[in-house]
Chain A
Amino acid sequence: MPQMTPEQQKALQEKLKNMSPEELQEFQKQQCIFCQIISGKVPAKKVYEDDQCIAILDINPAAKGHLLLLPKEHYAIMPQIPEPILAHLSVVSKHLSQLLLKSLKVDGTTIFVANGLAAGQKAQHFMIHIIPRKEDDNALQFEEKVISKEIQDKVKVAVENKLYQLLEVKKESIQLKLPQEDYFEEKPEFFITSENAKRYHKEKCAFAQNINSEHRIEMTPEQAANSGKKPCTCITGEKIPLPAKTKTESELDDSKNNKPAKKISPAKSTHSTKSAKSTKKNSKSKVPQKEEEEPEEEFEPDQEDTNKNVNLDDIANLFR
């Protein structure tokens, strides 16, 4: 019957697997001295008892009045304990600490939990130690050392994600910690002019681009209106005269663009009937005339190679 034994073993193992949590717990309970104290089989000096927990005097205390606070259910370590019970334990331990302070006239208390064998846990039953302390009693002394910033940060990074996960904090609230900058905030509208200029311009206007940085003045629409200067065609809605001699394809587009704009302006309406070339020439010749006193605003048609683009923005960019 050699084949039967493994099967039996398997069956046994399965049985154990199925039964082990309860059995183990039962087994541990039977072995656990504190469970026997709680059930009353072993005598102990009870200081406090309610339906969830019990506090007893430690037989081998660190100091006189060393108390042990035990949950009545058997839990080996703290993570196993349901939160309501843990919360209750914490409050009771607070009051027990108060009790020690009052009745034993001690100066302080240490509340201590050892979680796991490596932490010095001796019994398989979770407990909170409440130890009355006096100065220089040498009961529990820890030497603190300085932790370098590097290690601090390492610890932070290592623990942070897990902790947030356990605390069930949503990711959004983590992101909220980062500074949120609004990169899309629009600049308030402003116009550009110079001291001696008669007109003010939008930033992208070719005239504005041409103003030297020394003479450049920025002003709000209100300031501009009160300054006594007139708005440029770029503000009134007229098209900015194109910078240089137009050729072939772009010429046609320019004439199309310029014509409706001319109609709006009464001063330039006389040119509307003329050909595109003539308007170009006129407008060019007009500009320096009009703005004689503004040398920095003078339009300098030195961009011979820029006329393939009709887009005003592109033209404006070329001046930079």
Chain B
Amino acid sequence: MNCEYCELRKSAILYEDKDVAVIVKDTAVTSGQITVLPKQHFTILEMVPNELMEKCFLVANKVSMAIFESVGSQGTNIMIQNGLSAGQTVPHFAIEVVPRREEDSLNFQWQPKQLSEPELESLLSQLSEVKVNLKEKAEAKDKKEIKVKDENTEIIVEKEGKKNYLLKSIRRTP
């Protein structure tokens, strides 16, 4: 598979270590936009291991701070476009850090919708079906994978969910 980020020319790289690379892309929402990505190829967020995700996010925070101080921006947007329909253009997970100024012409706002109480309730119940699973996962990150292995049933559920989505997303990626 051809991946734009995996084959990046060295000139674009701002910083790199063994896990993470920080690059300046040639296409961006605004000039000064910086991209943080794991060096290993992951198509979507869900494939990225917890530890790597943490590292990427911390680096993105540092990039955001660096932008604050060096480019003279008054704010930053940190953005993960996860999946084709979210606007992801390169099939490689990445965090975008966008510098913002008061008078820039960017509009990152959405049209707020009004949801009624029953709609919210139904959403909540929809979400809470998987809620237990989520807590297990969030806790599992501290205990690391070895402990999760004991609970076979949990893993199967997770894997099935993941796989189904992954297969879907892989088919979708250009």
A residues apposed to B, CB below 8 Å: 45, 47-48, 50, 57, 59-65, 78-79, 81, 83, 86-92, 94-104, 106-121, 131, 133-137, 139-147, 149, 151-152, 155-156, 158-164, 166-167, 169
Contact = CB atoms under 8 A, between A and B. Distances in A.
B174 interface: no
A48 B131 CA distance: 7
B53 A79 contact: no
A62 B138 contact: no
Interface in B11-65: 12, 14-15, 22, 24-34, 44-46, 48, 50, 53-54, 56-59, 61-65
B36 to A, nearest CB: 10
B69 interface: yes
A275 B6 CA distance: 79
Interface of B: 12, 14-15, 22, 24-34, 44-46, 48, 50, 53-54, 56-59, 61-71, 73-89, 98, 100-102, 104, 106, 108-115, 119-121, 123-124, 126-131, 133-135, 137-139, 141, 161-162, 165, 168-169, 172
B83 to A, nearest CB: 2
B51 to A, nearest CB: 9
A155 B24 contact: yes
Given A48-B134, A86-B57, A137-B85, A65 B123 contact: yes
A47 B113 contact: no
Contact of A78 (B12, B45, B64, B126): B64
Contacts, number: 269
Contacts of A99: 127, 130-131, 133-134
List 10 tightest A-B contacts by C-beta distance, closest first.
Answer: A108-B83, A116-B75, A119-B75, A90-B57, A62-B110, A108-B86, A60-B112, A118-B74, A118-B75, A87-B54
A94 B26 contact: no
